Chain A
Amino acid sequence: MASFGIEGIRYFPNLRATGLVTKAEDLTYVFNICNGLDRELRNAGHTRRFYWANRDCWEIDLHSSGLGGADDDWADDVDLFFILTHGNNDAGNAILAYDIKINEWIGNSGNWRLGNVNCEWLLIYGCKTVDLANPLSFWDVFQRLHQLCGAWDNMWDGVTTDEVGEDVGDNLTDGDTVVTSWIDGVSDWWVDNHPIVIAAERESTWNGGAPLWASTTMNRDHLWGHGTTVGDIFPASKFWLSWRWAEG
């Protein structure tokens, strides 16, 4: 079964005080969502390795250990890592807000390298983490990471989206693929949460630019124990990135 780690940041008073993001407002249903995912995964027999909140969530947790961070101990030390915080995008890179500076207030996917230790799935409930026009900017993040689940525009925090953690967790453990679990799980088909999933793919499915979709990571990958989990794609075998998104 899978190991997982969860981080959620609801309050941002210290970030606001720095002046870097003066209107980084507090969020509302952060821990409803985090707890929901945590509960569904644990109920299905998966192992929570860690669950950190607010100022225990650090930029170095996702930052590659090889580039000065500590992801070998946290995000890359589990099969599935979920984080909920404010997000945005800078020149194609995801940026995430933290309420403590260890080592930075703002994380940047330019220094994420996941899968070289363990991580197969990175899930981010935060806005605009993926630039839909430029998903290839995540190329180096995929160091045997299977899939990255994020958003290509704003996400929602509200009374009707506070169950998305349970929904994603239910989907993952009911046998849906990871891509379906995310896109269906964070969508209520009312407000537009802009879900997107990026996957690493092999040359054998590229087919000269007419992908053999049925054999892709995107089509086949499940959480451990709930269907087929595809094998890791080492950086030398990574040939293309696929992405799947919802738009309304």
Chain B
Amino acid sequence: MAALLDKLVAKVCDHRDSVPVFRIQQRSLDEMEGFAIRLAGSLAGEDAGDAKSHVARGQSRSNILLAEGVRASVFHASGAIVAKAALAPMEHLIGDRSDKAALTQSVVAAAKRLGLDRVVGAGEQLLFERLWQIKAAGMDGSGVRSPEVVCRAVGAFRRYLHDLPVWGRASAFVELAGENRIGAVGLDWRPIVAEPFDRVKVIAPEQAARAVLGDLNGRLPGGSFGEEDFDVGLFSLGYLSMPKRHEQSVFAPVYVAQLERRGWSSTNYIIIVGGSETAYESYCRKTSSPPRDAAKPKPGDKPAKPQGGHGWDPMAKPKLCHD
């Protein structure tokens, strides 16, 4: 474990001694939906203010329909928005050439066209993080392979708050199809009160790394992982935007570890630990339990099937007419 601890500490980035703590602004559902309509409207090619829409407000998200089949969801707990154009996945393809530099330029230009930077406040930045590509190919039964085709390019963008990354799902993404059509856009942006309400001392990377390894070893009762079991993809101080169906009230410092598994079982782990001694809000996600269904029939026993319309006998006599 000592070697894995060393690997983590050696990888630490964005570390500093103290960090401001921000309150997240709570918005009304009307505000969130209005913003989602404007964003989705620009995706539909409409003037932002003129896009006709239909809003269906559900318990945890509002679904918004616009012209040309554009639809959007806004998640009430976070205000996160995902809007999608009505493009079939294998139409409007980008082509058979994967020019990453050109695709990166295109997704950045599309983000500008959509005005994603309108959410960026004082002391914040939204920076390009990573280009993703969605590709397709095929092979016939005799092993003849079709050319690979690039279907979509997805540009992921990261929010920085006073030069610290806000980790979690991409802060913003733009999915681009062929002919520079925008296939989808997403924004996970919890606005903050600009003035921090606290400034907190950050714990040492080694202390955080020990907490990460404690969490990790909980997955292997009675055993322990070694240095050979994981690569450290990331060990960073930053903030965390919780998943989009999760409420959050504060941006306080956290350490985020991405641990990439080596070995037969190859699941990678994201582990979050607090970045200060002060706990403002829990970053633990409650794990769920499965429902308690009826006992599973033993192997060989036939499971009970739901009663369907099988066994119809139109010639059967009605019960009341029996002799």
Main DSSP-derived SS at the A contact region: mixed
Within 8 A of A (CB), among B208-249: 218-221, 223, 225, 229, 240, 242-245
Say yes or no for B133: interface residue by CB 8 A criterion. Answer: yes
Q: Do residues A190 and B90 form an inter-chain contact, with CB atoms below 8 A?
A: no
> Is A224 at the interface (CB under 8 A from chain B)?
no
- B269 proximal to A (CB < 8 A): yes
B210 → chain A closest CB, angstroms: 19
A209:B168 contact, CB within 8 angstroms: no
Query: Could you list 28 examples of A-B contacts with CB < 8 Å?
Result: A21-B265, A22-B223, A23-B225, A26-B218, A35-B290, A56-B296, A135-B139, A153-B266, A156-B269, A157-B267, A158-B270, A160-B168, A176-B84, A177-B89, A180-B89, A184-B184, A188-B168, A188-B170, A189-B156, A189-B173, A190-B156, A190-B170, A209-B140, A214-B91, A238-B141, A239-B141, A240-B138, A243-B138
- The residue on A at minimum CB distance from B158 is A190
Give Cα A187–Cα B186 distance, bound, in whole angstroms. Answer: 12
Given that A8-B290, A190-B170 are known contacts, is A157 also in contact with B140, CB under 8 Å in the complex?
Answer: no
Cα separation A209 to B169 with both chains bound (whole Å): 37
Is there contact, CB below 8 Å, between B267 and A244?
no
Compute how far the CA of A23 lies from the CA of B263 in the bound complex, rounded to whole angstroms: 8
Total chain B interface residues with beta-carbon distance under 8 A: 76
Q: Find chain A residues with CB under 8 A from B184 CB.
A: 184
Judge if A166 is at the interface, Cβ distance under 8 Å.
yes
Residue of A nearest to B168 (CB): A160
B280 within 8 A of A: no
Contact between chains at A51 and B287 (CB < 8 Å): no
A213 and B91 contacting across the interface, CB-CB below 8 Å: yes
A176 to B218, CA, bound (A): 38
> Is B285 in contact with A162, judged by CB distance below 8 angstroms?
yes
Q: A156-B270, A247-B132 are in contact. Are A13 and B221 (CB under 8 A)?
A: yes
Number of A-B pairs whose CB atoms are under 8 Å?
227
Task: Tell me, yes or no, whether A149 is within 8 Å of chain B by CB.
Answer: no
Contact B260 A179 (CB under 8 A): no
Partner of B288, one of A24, A32, A184, A187: A32
Q: Does A14 contact B (CB under 8 A)?
A: no
Chain B residues near A159 (CB, 8 Å)?
240, 242-243, 270-272, 283, 285
A-side interface residues, number (CB < 8 Å): 90
Q: Is the C-beta of A210 less than 8 angstroms from some C-beta in chain B?
A: yes
Residue from B90, B139, B223, B258 within 8 A of A16 (CB atoms):
B223
CA distance A244 to B138 in the complex (A): 9
The residue that B132 contacts in the complex, of A32, A38, A58, A246, with Cβ under 8 A, is A246
**A27 contacts the other chain (Cβ, under 8 Å)?**
yes
Interface positions, chain B 251-291, Cβ under 8 Å from A, are 258, 260-261, 263-272, 283, 285, 287-291
B91 touches A219 (CB 8 A): yes
B97 at the interface (CB under 8 A from A): no
Task: Determine whether the beta carbon of B139 is less than 8 Å from that of A51.
Answer: no
Q: Which of B140, B149, B265 has the most CB of A within 10 A?
A: B265
B-chain residues with CB within 8 Å of residue A211 when the two chains form the complex: 138, 146
- Asked whether, in the complex, the Cβ of B264 is within 8 Å of the Cβ of A21, the reply is yes
Picked from B139, B156, B306, the residue with its CB within 8 Å of the CB of A241 is: B139
Q: Which residue of B lies closest to A216 (CB)?
A: B90
Per-position contact with B for A172-211: 1 when CB-CB < 8 Å, else 0?
0011110110011001111100000000010000100111
* Residue from A53, A166, A179, A191 in contact with B270 in the complex, judged by beta carbons closer than 8 Å: A191
- Beta-carbon contacts of B88-126 to A below 8 Å, as 1s and 0s? 111101000000000000000000000000000000000
> Shortest CB–CB separation between residue A43 and chain B, in angstroms?
9
A234 to B221: give the CA distance in the assembly, Å.
47
| Cβ-defined contact, B143 with A183, below 8 A | no
CB proximity of A171 to chain B, nearest CB, Å = 9
Chain A residue, CB-CB nearest to B183: A180
B202 sits at the interface (CB 8 A):
no
What is the 8 Å Cβ interface bit string for chain A, positions 30-41, against chain B (1 contact, 0 not)?
011011001000
- With a 10 A CB-CB cut-off, give which of B88, B129, B131 has the most chain A CB atoms: B88
B204 at interface by CB-CB < 8 Å: no
